[in-house]
Structure 1
Amino acid sequence: MEDQRKNELAVVIAATVVFGFVNRILIRIPYMVLGDFSFSFLISVVTWWIYNSVLFSVAEQMQMGDGGKKRIGKIVLFGFLATLIKAGIDTCIDLTVARQPNMLLLVAAMELSMILYIAGLDYFLFVKVGKRKIKQEGKEINALVTIFVCLLIFYGGTLFYYLKQVNYAVERYGTSSMVQEIGLDNAIWNLTTMLGRRSTTVGAVVYVGCFIIIWWILEKITVSQESN
């Protein structure tokens, strides 16, 4: 049983690293807005579909689900439905946060929403699919929680640094003729777009790390419902 759980964690870690690496290289952030059938949208759909399917497959192994075509069909269907839910979340973010002239805030909303989405998805997979329950004891996860918090603080610090750069630029150059010519909102959008693209490297490291830690924490604090 212990070897099986280690293998499951290894599969999740490998899939998560590949998911983050592929998306960072191809499109920076795996973001899906319904109605936008661009290359980025298609890549995001494919990678999220595969990743969600892998997580479901690993969770189902906890219960030693049935094999064959029936199981493959369940995995593919779940991956599609989970991806559709994620696309709905991304679309809502696009319809709200994207309406302001600061790309950094949109990037932060996209990447943090992924972490919250994975937290909810993993909990569902462990409790509903894997038929596991939360243990009362959780002392063994202190180190993991600390790393998780440090990743979020690191990401928050990066965004704060970039936002300070934007504020400085606005204060110093906001009244210049060049900025007035293109409009302050457009100038802020152009600057934050550049900084937002830079932040995606840090963002990818953070959300990949958080994805792995969330699964690892749930693996440590849950036991089979059949256990006493």
Structure 2
Amino acid sequence: MTPPAAPSPQKSPLPRGLRFAAFVCLVLSAFTGFFALSECLGLSQLEDTRNAAHFSLVGDPVLDARIAKAQLSALQSLRESRALFLGALSVVCSLAFVSAGRLLRPDGLPLERMRRMLAGSTIAAALLRTIDGAQGAVVARHMGPIIADALKTLPEFQGSSAAPLEVMAWLLPATTIGFTALIAGSFAVLGQYFQSERVRQAISLLDGRLAKED
């Protein structure tokens, strides 16, 4: 007697485009939430300057200590508000992660409920990530000239070799702003997508189909 075949793994009922958007949101929220939580926890240890000894930026302990001190000074004034926004961002990203995962594997849960949660959490993540990026740009604007001045004291950046360091003052905050625009913009686009009427109708049809199958 032939043994019964093992049941094939359940596939996501979502259309390909919707499934891809949910997967992107799953990955984006996971990484963003992880880094937000890590930085939030790091803010609670600002006074522990020994943490700077584990990271060398220019290879000179004196210059590294100078840069670390400047970074601590820049973060100190933003400590409470930044910790608040980073904590909120990590929570919102966890909601987006769970709801995106449940869209991909609903396990009997209503897809419409997950869609609403995902749309709301991604819009909130876009807002919080924008605020986080603005605060990061303030720190980067403060750190850029200090890092450039520190590097100018090294033998490798003497004379004409120091010319590229002049862009450090604006390159660091510009990079921070650009990365913020990329991440926050992605969250905003995903939020608008999951709020669109087309996605609502697709989810409604899927909910009805799954209810009939049950």
Which of the five TM-score ranges fits, normalised by the shorter chain? Answer: 0.3 to 0.5
**Between Structure 1 and Structure 2, whose CA radius of gyration is higher?**
2
Higher relative contact order (CA 8 A, sep 6+): 1
Tell me the TM-score normalized by structure 1.
0.31
Structure 2 length as normaliser, TM-score?
Answer: 0.32
